[in-house]
Each structure stands twice: as structure tokens, then as C-alpha cells.
Amino acid sequence: MHGLGELEAAVMNVLWQEHPLKVRDVLDRLETGKKLAYTTVMTVLDNLHRKGWVTRELEGKAYRYEPAFSRAEAAARTVRDVLVSSGDPEAVLMHFAQSATERESELLRRALPKKKRSSAS
């Protein structure tokens, strides 16, 4: 995901699959190919909380974490960031529209609100 480091993205992937989870639960489910320390995962979750990617609730002495928004919402935010940072959102959208599959084009047509036609037209 845009704006996330590799380990942050891996933690978010775990939370999008199952939540809420404690640090230990996230650590046990992470598949990074590396042995990670509990404190490393705790720090990553704290950073994700500070950045607004996760919410947390204290349960006993430990926090339970869950995503602040869905994977689809995160992807949409990434697209929005790309459009804003491109300097020419119209050109980016036009290139995307030209490269969209038939299925993607149909989904976009259904998602865009239909303009009300006035009887005066």
C-alpha cells in the first residue's frame, strides 16, 4: 500500500484477514520469511495507529488492533493520492480509462452517479 513500509503492509494484510488482534496474534500470523521480535511488531502497530491506519482498544493489559478502514478503502485512498500528486489528474484518469478492461469500464459506469435529466432539456 502507498505510504506504508514493507512490514507495515504485511501487518495490515494480517489485520484485513482477521481482526481485532493483539500484538502476539499478529506476530503469530505474519509470514515475512524473517523471525521478528514481539517488540518490533508492537512498534509497527503503534506506528500504524499513529498514522491512522489502525484503531486499538485496551483489553486488560494489551491492546486489540483492527484496521481503521477496509483494504478497498485503502486502495481508493492510494488512487486519490496518485491523482493529487500527479500534477495532471485529468491526464491520469484518461490514460486509466483507455487502459481499463471491459469489466473495469462497466464497474466505473455503474459507480458513477447518473445525472438527472431535466424535462426542460
pLDDT of residue 116: 52
pLDDT of residue 26: 98
pTM of the model: 0.79
**What DSSP assignment string belongs to 30-89?**
--SSS---HHHHHHHHHHHHHTTSEEEEEETTEEEEEESS-HHHHHHHHHHHHHHHHS-H
pLDDT of residue 1: 58
pLDDT of residue 111: 86
Where the chain has pLDDT below 70, the residues are 1-2, 114-121
